[in-house]
Amino acid sequence: MSQEKIDAYKKEKAGRKERIEKQKKRRKIAKIISCLAAVAIVAAIVGSIVYNKVGKNDDAAAADASTEAISTEYVDDTAAEASSAE
């Protein structure tokens, strides 16, 4: 081997530990981020399903209640006008 090759090998070997540690850290971070992303996607899907099932029932009940309140007010107003007209 030439002296250049030996020097290059020694230099590569000297920095090997640091490179391996950096690669391990990057892989660990990538795994954590991908797991968090997967959890977020699943939570969004489950949340939308739950909202669609529960939220629509609450919205329908609120709409019925507001319709009843409006019709009751109309009847009261109409009755008040009729009694005041007499």
What's the whole-model pTM score? Answer: 0.52
Would the CA dihedral through 59, 61, 62, 66 be positive or negative? positive
> Percentage helix, strand, coil, to 5, in the chain?
95, 0, 5
Q: What three-state secondary structure class fits 1?
A: coil
Nearest Cα to Cα of residue 29 among 41, 21, 17, 39: 21
Q: Tell me the per-residue pLDDT of 13-61, one tens digit each, with 9 for 90 and over.
A: 888 999 999 999 999 999 999 999 999 999 999 999 998 888 766 555 5
Domain range summary for the chain, segments of one domain joined by +: 3-85
Q: Tell me the per-residue pLDDT of 66-85, one tens digit each, with 9 for 90 and over.
A: 566 565 665 556 555 656 55
Would you state the structure tokens that stand for residue 41, as one six-digit string? 């996607």
